[in-house]
């Protein structure tokens, strides 16, 4: 079967959330995770343009491609020297306005100030905040993805929000 650009667009929109969540929970850095997802879809597009083969389960195929991309990422990352760089990551700008009161307070601050606070938090707390606010994941799904109890996820989320609030004041 020859895939068209419309087929690719439909596949992209149908699978982006699933592939993004999979990669996000394997990589601590949000920018790296986004780049890896972009690479997966670029490689997938090149593959379907070159080949006439029908893919039985596109989601499984994309997750397999993501696993390969993650392997390459960690292989090159282990070989690269560690460099600390300035981050202009604006991940919290995408939080919907209809969130609870805590989020409304956070939205009044600059994204950079919030990101600076979040960068000082443990990696697990950062993952929980990104998963909940950027990917709109409920705590139960986050808990399942991290293989942790839901109460622990809710507690860490609450403590992370309280930490942000206390550092803002």
| CATH number reported for the structural domain that contains residue 108 in this entry | 1.10.10.10
Answer yes or no: is 107 within a domain.
yes
**For 80-111, how does the pLDDT look when each residue is reduced to its tens digit (9 = 90+)?**
554 434 454 444 444 444 445 555 555 555 56
* For helices 5-24 and 58-79, angle between their N-to-C axes, nearest 10 degrees: 50
Does the pLDDT of residue 139 top 60, yes or no? yes
pLDDT for the residue numbered 108:
57
- Average pLDDT rounded to a whole number, residues 137-159: 89
Rounded to two decimals, what is the model's pTM? 0.50
Q: CA-to-CA distance for 78 and 71, rounded, in angstroms?
A: 11
Mean pLDDT, all residues of the chain = 79
Last residue of a domain, one of 51, 79, 107: 79
Answer yes or no: is 156 within a domain.
yes
**For 11-32, how does the pLDDT look when each residue is reduced to its tens digit (9 = 90+)?**
899 999 999 988 988 888 888 8
CATH number assigned to the domain comprising residue 58 = 1.10.1740.10
Instruction: Identify which has the larger pLDDT, 29 or 65.
Output: 65
Q: CA-to-CA distance for 121 and 110, rounded, in angstroms?
A: 18
Are 71 and 139 members of one domain? no
- Average pLDDT rounded to a whole number, residues 141-151: 88
Answer yes or no: is 44 within a domain.
yes
Instruction: Identify which has the larger pLDDT, 64 or 117.
Output: 64
Strand, helix or coil at 8?
helix
pLDDT for the residue numbered 169:
63
Q: How confident is the model at residue 48 (pLDDT cuts 50, 70, 90)?
A: confident
Last residue of a domain, one of 33, 50, 79: 79
pLDDT for the residue numbered 85:
41
**Lowest-pLDDT choice from 2-6, 37-41, 120-124, 126-130:** 2-6
Are 29 and 9 members of one domain? yes
- Average pLDDT rounded to a whole number, residues 124-136: 85
Burial class (CB in 10 A: 0-12, 13-18, 19+), 60: exposed
Last residue of a domain, one of 56, 79, 102: 79
Non-local CB neighbours of 90 within 8 Å, separated by 6+ positions = 111, 112, 115
Q: Which domain holds residue 59?
A: 5-79
């Amino acid at each position: 079967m020859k895939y068209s650009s419309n087929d690719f667009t439909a596949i992209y929109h149908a699978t982006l959330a699933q592939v993004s969540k999979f990669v996000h929970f394997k990589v601590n850095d949000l920018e790296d995770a986004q780049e890896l997802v972009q690479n997966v879809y670029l490689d997938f597009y090149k593959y379907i343009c070159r080949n006439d083969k029908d893919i039985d389960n596109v989601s499984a195929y994309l997750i397999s491609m993501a696993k390969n991309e993650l392997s390459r990422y960690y292989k090159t990352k282990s070989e690269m020297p560690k460099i600390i760089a300035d981050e202009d990551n604006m991940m919290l700008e995408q939080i919907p306005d209809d969130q609870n009161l805590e989020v409304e307070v956070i939205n009044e601050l600059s994204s950079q100030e919030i990101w600076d606070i979040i960068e000082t938090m443990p990696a697990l707390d950062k993952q929980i905040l990104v998963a909940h606010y950027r990917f709109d994941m409920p705590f139960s799904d986050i808990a399942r993805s991290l293989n942790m109890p839901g109460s622990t996820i809710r507690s860490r989320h609450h403590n992370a929000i309280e930490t942000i609030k206390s550092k803002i004041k």
